[in-house]
């Protein structure tokens, strides 16, 4: 369609972000409120998936009945589900939501449900991108150098192979370049020491593989490097990465609480710093390596975090990150 009188194409209206309304510790109450915020405050189109009756009751509470599309999915994957059985629950909000994205009825999927369950359903529903061994969660953490450091994997794969970790590094470097605009990003491998050969068998083998990849590999980095800006990307296994992520969030809150108690800085300044590491700011982690855009939010997400996750999902979808990432996987890890 051409704009009347202008002779050029109108910008296509982006499709909706599909949101799992049943996931998370707070269920539909916070998720629906977050979806309403995303629509009203950020102009994100949203489709909510889950138990339609519960969702519509929540929408009515916010005066949003008819404002957001609802797709019924009666089954709910519990937060205790680690992943193995989630993909077979065809009537669940996770499976139905991923199916909508696969069929083109949505541009991205957002869930604050069990990470393992979301990953399982996303792999089965959307499929892994060509050449990808295993998807990984990427989170950009502000560092003291003024930029951001991509932590990958932040919780998708607890027991990866060294080859998977090497590929996580490739995905993380691509994300840093495409999303954060970092030219030729540097990559570090999280270990217990910076010296070559440090770590367990997993990290030692991953280090060997990383040295053979087309990356600017810095070498091993330690826990204190995560926020120091030492490298642009830190690769690790999902178990360690998730512990690091939650430790960062908790440590920042604890440190700023101590500073506030001492009266060293103004409350407004402290809130500003704390906000940089708040899940409400980054919204969630991008699940990279799939044939579709997926953002996994904290299980404890409140409405503001869900709204931010919707914005992040839309931005990733509009940037066509999913289709651009595979072209950056110029060489897979040696086996």
**CATH number where 315 lies:** 3.40.50.10950
Which DSSP helix (H) or strand (E) runs through 195? none
Same domain, 14 and 109: yes
Res 8: pLDDT: 38
- What is the DSSP annotation of 71-89? EE--B---TT--STTGGG-
Let me know if 224 is exposed, middle or buried by CB neighbors in 10 A (0-12, 13-18, 19+): exposed
Same domain, 242 and 164: yes
Same domain, 260 and 323: no
Same domain, 140 and 160: yes
Same domain, 65 and 156: no
Same domain, 159 and 235: yes
d(CA 164, CA 241): 14
d(CA 138, CA 85): 24
Same domain, 126 and 141: no
Which residue in 106, 166, 104 sits closest to 132, CA to CA? 166
For 309, list phi and psi in degrees, rounded to 5. Answer: -60, -35
Which of 280, 297, 327 terminates a domain? The answer is 280
Does the predicted model carry a pTM greater than 0.95? no
Res 84: pLDDT: 66
Res 278: pLDDT: 62
Beta bridge partners of 109: 18, 294
Cis peptide before 137 (omega within 30 of 0): no
Res 290: pLDDT: 94
d(CA 156, CA 333): 19
Total count of domains within the chain: 2
Same domain, 328 and 210: no
Res 31: pLDDT: 95
Same domain, 104 and 232: no
Mean pLDDT by 10 residues, the chain (335 residues): 36 79 90 96 95 95 93 86 68 94 96 92 92 93 91 94 96 92 95 93 96 94 94 97 90 80 73 64 83 91 92 90 70 45
Which of 252, 280, 308 terminates a domain? The answer is 280
Q: Are 167 and 179 in contact (CB under 8 A)?
A: no
Res 243: pLDDT: 95
What is the domain-level CATH number for residue 231? 3.40.718.10
d(CA 13, CA 75): 31
Which of 280, 298, 317 terminates a domain? The answer is 280
Contacts of 56 (CB under 8 A, 6+ apart): 65, 70
Same domain, 234 and 108: no
Same domain, 20 and 104: yes
Res 9: pLDDT: 38
Same domain, 1 and 112: yes
Q: Are 117 and 84 in contact (CB under 8 A)?
A: no
Contacts of 96 (CB under 8 A, 6+ apart): 49, 71, 73, 90
Domain that holds residue 140: 136-280
Helix (H, G, I), strand (E, B) or coil at 143: coil
């Amino acid at each position: 369609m051409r704009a009347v009188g202008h002779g050029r194409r109108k910008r296509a209206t982006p499709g909706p972000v599909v949101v799992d309304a049943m996931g998370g510790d707070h269920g539909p109450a916070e998720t629906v409120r977050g979806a309403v915020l995303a629509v009203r405050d950020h102009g994100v189109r949203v489709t909510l998936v889950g138990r339609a009756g519960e969702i519509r009751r929540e929408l009515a509470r916010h005066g949003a009945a008819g404002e957001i599309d609802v797709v019924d999915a009666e089954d709910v994957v519990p937060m205790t589900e680690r992943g193995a059985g989630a993909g077979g629950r065809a009537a669940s909000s996770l499976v139905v939501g991923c199916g909508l994205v696969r069929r083109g009825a949505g541009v991205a999927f957002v869930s604050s449900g069990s990470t393992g369950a979301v990953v399982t359903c996303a792999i089965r529903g959307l499929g892994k991108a060509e050449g990808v061994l295993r998807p990984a969660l990427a989170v950009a953490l502000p560092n003291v150098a003024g930029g951001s450091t991509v932590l990958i994997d932040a919780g998708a794969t607890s027991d990866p192979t060294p080859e998977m970790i090497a590929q996580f590094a490739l995905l993380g470097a691509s994300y840093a370049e495409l999303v954060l605009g970092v030219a030729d990003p540097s990559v570090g491998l999280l270990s217990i020491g910076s010296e070559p050969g440090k770590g367990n068998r997993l990290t030692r083998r991953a280090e060997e593989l990383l040295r053979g990849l087309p990356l600017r590999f810095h070498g091993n980095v330690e826990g204190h490097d995560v926020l120091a800006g030492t490298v642009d990307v830190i690769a690790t296994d999902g178990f360690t990465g998730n512990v690091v992520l939650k430790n960062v969030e908790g440590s920042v809150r604890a440190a700023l609480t101590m500073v506030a108690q001492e009266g060293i800085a103004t409350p407004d300044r402290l809130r500003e710093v704390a906000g940089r590491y708040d899940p409400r700011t980054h919204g969630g982690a991008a699940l990279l390596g799939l044939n579709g855009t997926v953002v996994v939010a904290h299980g404890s997400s409140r409405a503001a975090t869900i709204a931010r996750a919707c914005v992040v999902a839309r931005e990733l979808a509009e940037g066509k990150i999913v289709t651009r990432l595979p072209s950056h996987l110029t060489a897979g890890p040696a086996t």
